[in-house]
Structure formats: C-alpha cells, structure tokens
Structure 1
Amino acid sequence: MKFTKNVSPDDRKMLNSIFWRSFTVFASRAGATKAHAPGFMYSILPAIDRYYKNDPKGQTEALERETTWYNITQNVGTFVMGLVASMEKKNSQDPDFDANSIVALKTSLMGPLSGIGDSIFWGVLRVIAAGIGISLASQGSVLGPILFLVIYNVPSILTRYYLTYIGFTLGDTFIEDMYESGSMKLLNKAASTLGLMMIGSMTATMVTFKSTLAIPIAGGKPIEIQTYLDQLWQGLVPLAVTLGCYWLLSKKVNVNWILLGVLALAIVLGLVGIV
C-alpha cells in the first residue's frame, strides 16, 4: 500500500516496533487518572528514543507527555500512535512547534476512534466471528474456535498494522477531513446498523427455548404450552431473555453474573420440567 511505500527504511523499522509493542498497551493500568498511559508510553518509546536521541531534555518532556490519560479501542489505537510519532518528529525538528498540541490531539481523538473501533470490531466483527464459531462448535466441529479466532484476529491485526503507518503518513488532517466530508458520521451509522442487524439475527437463530410443559386434558390431547407461545409470538422467550440481559448490562451488572444467572435459570427450568 502507498502508506507503507512512502516510508523510509528507518521509519519503517520504528513503526514496526511501535506496531508490535501496541499489543501490550492494555497490559498495564495506572488508575482512573492515567488509564493505559504506561502501555502507550512503552509503545511509542521507539519514536522518542529515535527523535530525541541527542536531546535528554526533549526526551524527558516527551515521556512526560505520554503519561497523560489514554484509552482507545486498541484495534484502531495504533492510528494515534503513528500520529504522535509523526508529531514528535516535527517537534524535535521545529523549535516553534507547539508540543501541547500533541496531547490535545491525542485526547480529542479518543472518543471518535473508540466509537468507530467499538462499533466495527466489538459490535460487528466479533459478533459475526462468534456466530460462525458457535454455529460450527455446536455441531461438534473443531473449526468453530479456529474460525472465530481467524475471522476476528486477521482483520484486527491488519488494521493495527496499516493504521500505524496511516497515522504517521497522513498526520492530523485525516480525521478532520473525514469529519468535514461527513464520512465519519456515515461510517458510525453504518457500523451501528450492521451491528444491530447481526445481534438480531443471532438472537433469532441461536437463542432457543422449547417448553415441554403441557396441561393434561381428560379424554383429550394435553395442551402444549410451547404451541401457544409460538402462536402468540415466535421466539418470544428468547427475545425476552436477550432484552433482559441487555437491560442488566445497561445497569452495569457484571457479565459473568449474567452468564451464571442464565445458566442457573436453565438448570432450574430443566429440573422442574418446564424445558
């Protein structure tokens, strides 16, 4: 791609190092005031070491800048890493460059980029990968977990890699241009819509409920509850369970407790003969 071709061998080596280090960005957390700043500082260190090699004061100031709060969906966070590397390069070469703009721009991009990253990677790609993986795994195929990892991780890793270069080569005008053209708003809307469609499809096909409960009738066939549930609304119970889980998630209930609750409910309903 043109983003990687127009980079010098030394810059390529530096950006590759930033890319590989980016996988550890969420390995540390410095509290609510710094979040994942230590991981970001470690990731961007190759650029700081290179551009401030003979400037200890500039290196110290750069490291201090990278200790500010950082938290971006890391599938797209490497764009900011490449961008910061580019701006640190300018700062090391231009004495009139405003170093405060580095922190300001990094902070301003956290919301928009996380919105895109969450919508595409968590709301769409992960759902598609999980749907395919679960479908195959439920049939006893070992390809289930393998395809889940491949479908999610290959696009994620490629995005990380190329965004590192894009951030470095395009600079701070890229996101601004996307906002001015309306592309950012369109991308967010499309990703959100597709994510909702995938969740609805998975709910309809993978969340199942079939009651064995029946009311006996003297001299006639028992009344099967499931028949009336299907006549009332096909898939009513799975939909209700799914919406209930989403409601609990909106109330900040830990997802592990929700999973345990669903499991316990299934066991109880099975034991009393309802399902």
Structure 2
Amino acid sequence: MENQTTNNKSVMTKDIFRKTFWRSFPLQGAFCYDRMQNLGFAFGIAPALKKMYPEGEEARAALKRHLAIFNTTPAVVTFITGAVIAMEEQFKAARERGEIPDEESINAVKTALMGPLAGIGDSFFWGTLRIIGAGIGCSIAAKGSVLGAILFLLIYNIPNFFVRYKGLEIGYKSGVSFLESMTKGGAVAVLTETAKILGLTVVGSMCASMISFSTSLVITVGGAEVVLQDIFDGIITGFLPLSLTFIIYKLLQKGFKTTTLLWGIILVGVLGSVTGIL
C-alpha cells in the first residue's frame, strides 16, 4: 500500500490498512443529528493520524479537523477515508517543506465526495442489494429454512466487505482523481440509474410474488353471482397486492409510522377473515 504522491515512507502499512478497514464498520455507532457520522469518521482515520503525527498535540489537532459534519453511505466511506489519508500525508509533507497548506481543503474534498458517493451507495446497497437479498431470503425463510437469513446476510455483506476493502485501496492510491474521472466520464450517473431501475424491478416483482392479498367476496348482480377476485384478476394479475403496496407507500409519505401501519394491516386482516371479505 504505497501512496504515489509521497516519495518516502507511506503511512498506509498493512497494519494501518487493516485497522482502518475494520474501523469503517462502526461509522454510525455515535451518529447524531448535529454532525452525523463525524465521530465515526474520526475513529476510522485515527490509527493513520496517530502514526503520521507521533506527537500527541499534532494528532489531536488533526483529529479535530475531522470532527466537521460528515455523512455518506457507510459501505463507501473507505473511498473518502483513503483519499483523506493521502491528503493528510501531502499536508504534512508541505508543512515540513516550510509551506503553509490550506487545512480547509481536506474537509472541502470530504464534502465534495460524500454526496456523490452517497448517491451511488444508497442506490446499490439500500435500493438494490438489500431488496434483492430480502426478497430471496424471505422467500426461502417462508418455507421454514434458516438458509433464507444466511443468504440475505451473504447477498448484502459480500459486496459490502469487498467495496469497503477496495475502496480504501483505491481511495488511498488514486483518491480524488479516480472519483473525478468516473464523474466526468458519466460512469457515476450510469451506475446510479442502473441501480435504481434494478431496484424498482425487484420491488415490483416482490409485490406480485410475496404479498398475498385477495378477497373471497361474492356479489349477486341480476341473479348471477360475481366473484370480485376474478374481476380484479381480469384487470391485472396481482391487482390487490399492488394496490395495497401503493396505499402503504402513500401513507408512509404522509408521515404514518411503520408500527401503526403494521397494526392496521393486522387489524384489517383479522376483520376481513372474520367477516369473510378476505
């Protein structure tokens, strides 16, 4: 692990790389609405700063720089961590040459990177992998197999671990230039849009295959019995599950709590079963 911007020793030894990697996981362990993930980020970068600045006062000053507000998708934070460690090395080298580097430039880079990376991370990890993993895992778990829970964890966490590891490596070696080239080349926009489409496709499939909602209500029209479920199926397959999904989505948008909606679904289900409507 050698930073190409430095000519001599690199702070990113195997030991520091390993510590920084594992410390990226509790990023939100001290989350607050004032500065969000700032403490988690400072905790993750602390081993590199302590090695870079053996004097306690210098290390404290460096850590204080990284207590500014910070927020991004946890799975991609190592891209920023690696880039910041490389910039800290450049910052220290400039001071040793007698120059006066701009301290705010480091936080400016963090601010510039955390938004675009959060967009990619949210699209892939929250909007795609989590949904795919939950869909596959729940469908298997519903059959009574513990493999469903295991698959959910593997589908989400294998890419999570890989991206964190490679992100720290790429962020430190290439840093800002790598991310800038992806943004200018349009790769970020394409990846984000692809992830959104895939996530929506999976959600749509889950509505049809995993939500069981039908009615047994039969009405009499002109002496003939009409099964309402047949009418709904004639409109579109899975019409009622899709309608229920949109209703819940709209209620969530209006600020209803998830626990309230869950109790509401249970109540409607019980009443529907008792009355014979569902």
1:245 equivalenced with 2:276 (yes/no): no
CA distance in 2, matches of 1:204, 1:32: 37
Distance 1:271 1:8, change over 3 A: farther
Aligned partner of 1:64 in structure 2 is 64
Distance 1:108 1:10, change over 3 A: closer
1:269 equivalenced with 2:272 (yes/no): yes
Aligned partner of 2:262 in structure 1 is 259
In the TM superposition, what whole-angstrom CA distance separates every residue of 1:60-105 from its partner, at most 9, and x where no partner exists?
A: 3211111111111101111111111111121122123322111011
Aligned partner of 1:47 in structure 2 is 48
Aligned partner of 1:162 in structure 2 is 166
TM-score (norm 1): 0.90
Does the 8 A contact of 2:3 with 2:173 survive in 1?
A: no
Which of 217, 220, 225 aligns to 1:213? It is 217
Match runs of 1:87-126 below 5 Å: 87-95=87-95, 96=99, 97-126=101-130
CA distance in 2, matches of 1:251, 1:50: 50
Q: Identify, as 1 or 2, the structure richer in helix.
A: 1
1:40 counterpart letter in structure 2: F
Aligned partner of 2:30 in structure 1 is 28
TM-score (norm 2): 0.89
Q: CA deviation at 1:272?
A: 2.0
Does the 8 A contact of 2:79 with 2:175 survive in 1?
A: no
2:18 counterpart letter in structure 1: N
CA distance in 2, matches of 1:4, 1:158: 20
2:14 counterpart letter in structure 1: R
Does the 8 A contact of 2:3 with 2:172 survive in 1?
A: no
1:131 counterpart letter in structure 2: G
Does the 8 A contact of 1:79 with 1:164 survive in 2?
A: yes
1:172 equivalenced with 2:172 (yes/no): no
In the TM superposition, what whole-angstrom CA distance separates every residue of 1:148-202 from its partner, at most 9, and x where no partner exists?
A: 1111111111211211111111111111111111111111111111111111111
Q: CA deviation at 1:263?
A: 2.8
CA distance in 2, matches of 1:162, 1:61: 28
CA distance in 2, matches of 1:136, 1:5: 45
Q: CA deviation at 1:10?
A: 5.3
Report how many aligned residue pairs link the two structures.
270
CA distance in 1, matches of 2:3, 2:174: 13
In the TM superposition, what whole-angstrom CA distance separates every residue of 1:123-149 from its partner, at most 9, and x where no partner exists?
A: 111111111111111122221111111
Aligned partner of 2:155 in structure 1 is 151
What's the secondary structure of 2:212's corresponding residue?
coil
2:134 counterpart letter in structure 1: A
Percent of aligned pairs with the same residue? 38
CA distance in 1, matches of 2:68, 2:47: 18
User: What RMSD over aligned residues (CA atoms) do the two structures have, in Å?
Assistant: 2.4
What's the secondary structure of 1:33's corresponding residue?
coil
